[in-house]
Amino acid sequence: MTGLAHLAITVKDMEKSLDFYTRILGFRKVFEIPKPQDGSPWIVYLHVGGRQFIELFYGGTTDNPFTDEKRGFNHICLEVDDIQEFTKKVLAAGYKFEGPTDVLPNQGCDFNWQAWMTDPDGIRVELMQIDPKSPHYKVIEGKE
């Protein structure tokens, strides 16, 4: 095992999703793969960094609203260097965060700074800035 290669999301409106993931979150659209059967649009790839990608699939038609009780996928967490600046950028672009914006970001139980929002298809997105007091930082720095 060498890492997490990609996250795949089936979307309802590709243009809205591309706007969110590229213009707002800053990922780069790198290539598309058409359906082998007929050449119609199928998958758009976004580069996250390193060897990591997000795949956006065309054709989503059924909503899948999140609930705490639902098993399966819960959210995607994206690490940012400066969460204060990143949340300002997202708000300025017209997107909203969960909870009151006057307390963004907030510090979680793991000491990391976080802000929560949803993408155009209702996928929960956590923005996180790792704090030196967090257990994540200790693992990353080899101090566990």
pLDDT tens-digit profile, the chain (144 residues): 999 999 999 999 999 999 999 999 999 999 999 999 999 999 999 999 999 999 999 999 999 888 889 888 899 999 999 999 999 999 999 999 988 777 789 999 999 999 999 999 999 999 999 999 999 999 999 987
- SS3 state of residue 9: strand
Distances (CA, A) of 137 to 3, 87, 103, 119, 144: 18, 21, 23, 27, 9
Let me know if residue 68 belongs to a domain.
Answer: no
The residue count for the chain: 144
91 and 140 assigned to the same domain: yes
Count of domains in the chain?
2
Domain identity same for 31 and 95: no
Give the separation between CA 68 and CA 63, rounded to whole angstroms: 16
* Domain interval for residue 23: 1-61
**Model confidence pTM above 0.95:** no
70: in domain: no
Q: Could you give the count of Cα atoms lying within 13 Å of 33 in the half-sphere of its Cβ?
A: 8
**CATH code: domain of residue 54:** 3.10.180.10
Q: Is residue 104 in some structural domain?
A: yes
Q: Are residues 79 and 143 both part of a single domain?
A: yes
**Are 44 and 94 members of one domain?**
no
What six digits make up the tokens of 72?
Answer: 């399966």
